[in-house]
Structure 1
Amino acid sequence: MPKVDLEKLKREDLEEAKMGIPPRFGKDIDVDFTLENSGRWEKVKGGNVWKLEVYSENSHSINMIFNDFFLAEGSELIIYNKEMNMMAGPITSFSNNKSRKFSTDIIIGQSVILEF
């Protein structure tokens, strides 16, 4: 992920606080990660697993917002931090919806691994 200028964000938050605007929750970073252009596929017993590590230097946590979310029946997505002490999932086709949007909870750390 591109490095975020935390000091600049803090200065902006201080200026906005003077106008009664609460501090931001996080910084949106648009990405275009797909099964085809990112991560790596591994053969495992019983099939294939795709893994992608997302690293954001100096972040306290990472959450994900998927804009074109659809999981086929029988597939699972698991998202966890590098320390493996926080996890979201397994996320299944049950989470599919008409808007094709999906958001994760906050996962503490500078790095998360997506495993599909």
Structure 2
Amino acid sequence: MAWKDELEENIKCGLVDILILQLLSTEDMYGYQIKQEISQRSGGTISIKEGSLYGPLYRMLEKDFISIRKEFVGKKRFRNYYHLEEAGKQYLDIAKREYESIIGGADAIMKRRVSTYE
């Protein structure tokens, strides 16, 4: 069922940025931690492939939605911690409203609710 995997990826693609920003609104996190939190908090429903996380992170860095700081772990290793910036907070607020609106509309269609405009 390759089409099922493709469908799942297409649906998740639009959500990943919002989920990352939402997590960063509570605390700074490093990449693997973000991946684990998304999987854990979604009850395993949403899992992100190892390399799929960094594209959205780099896009958001370029837009100044998030910033990065390096923190040493041990003597020679470091982790990149991501931090939500003000522009990212504003984007997240708008994105959450849009998400709720779209999900509400899709839910109405999926449940075949009668429109109040008819």
TM-score, normalised to structure 2, is: 0.25
Which protein, 1 or 2, shows the higher relative CO under an 8 Å CA cutoff with sep ≥ 6?
A: 1
Higher helix share: 2
* Greater fraction of residues in strand: 1
Q: TM-score, structure 1 length as denominator?
A: 0.26
